[in-house]
Every structure is written in structure tokens, then in C-alpha cells.
Copies of this chain bind each other. A is one copy, B any other.
Amino acid sequence: MDGLKIGALAKRTGTNAPTIRYYEEIGLLRSADRQAGGQRVYSDADVKRLTFIRRCREFGFSIEQVRSLVELMQDPTQSCVHARDLAQEHLIAVRAKLAELKALERSIAAFVASCDASCAGGPGPECVILDDLSKRRVEVPSTSKGRRSPCGTCS
């Protein structure tokens, strides 16, 4: 099963060919062997390595983190506990992002809800809800609080 060309490798790993060349360029993949005509040839080891890289990228690891993991995978002097630590670190970042995104979701949902409750159209410049966004650190109302009157021209 050796001797894949770039297109076949791409298909096998769910990557685009230009992305593979890009990974080579930045040194994430070794420089591929070439056929007489200059076309890249890949082996099963490359399939494995690229799959690893793609999986890590799907996991949201940055290129630099993936680089560490790849090196770690191939260096018999390094402990795999290091990978766990990287993952742990990444997990913390993902959880922080998750919390942020949840807050964001609540805010936007509240925004939409308050639009539904208070506005029935009308000119943008007079919409009290849009206007709110240009004030500093105004909390978007946490749904159905009836805190504000509708836009003068709405409803």
C-alpha cells in the first residue's frame, strides 16, 4: 500500500492537497520523497503521521501544540505524560472558551427575545435596543424583564 501521491494521501486523511504542502513547508510533515517527475510520494508512515496531525487539529490544538505532540510521538526519550499535560492545558482553555460562548449565547438569545418583545420594526437609528449596544457595559436584559419601553417608532 506504499507509494501514494498527494491526492491519494489527501483523500485517505481528509485533508486538502495544498494543506499537505503547507504542512510540509512549515515542517510539520517531513519533506516528501519525489518521483522522477517531481511528484511527491508518500508511505503508510506519512498517512499515519498526517492522520495524527489532523486529529489533533480537530481537537483544536494549535499548529505549535501539534508540533510538540508530533515530536513527542517520535522521540523515544520523551514521556507520553507530556502529552497528557498538553491535553490538560488545552482542556482548560476549551472550558474557558465554552463558558464564554455560553454567556454569549444567553446574551444573543436575550437580545433576540427583547427585540421580539419590544420592537415590531421601525427605523434602526431610533431602536432603543440597538442604541443600548452603544452604551458602555449595559447588560442585555436577561429575558422578559420588561425593563425598557419599546422604541418610540416601533410596535
Q: Which residues of A contact B (CB under 8 A)?
A: 48-49, 51-52, 55-56, 59-60, 69, 72-84, 87-88, 90-91, 94-95, 97-98, 101-102, 104-105, 107-109, 111-112, 115-116, 119-127, 129-130, 133-136, 151, 154
Contact = CB atoms under 8 A, between A and B. Distances in A.
Q: How many copies does the complex hold?
A: 2
A112 B88 contact: yes
A130 B94 CA distance: 20
A107 to B, nearest CB: 7
A84 B98 contact: no
Given A91-B109, A95-B105, A127 B51 contact: no
User: Which of A73, A101, A111, A124 neighbours the largest number of chain B CB atoms within 10 Å of its CB?
Assistant: A124
A15 B55 CA distance: 36
16 contacts: A48-B134, A52-B133, A59-B104, A59-B108, A76-B126, A77-B123, A79-B124, A80-B115, A80-B119, A80-B124, A80-B126, A83-B129, A84-B116, A91-B105, A91-B109, A98-B101
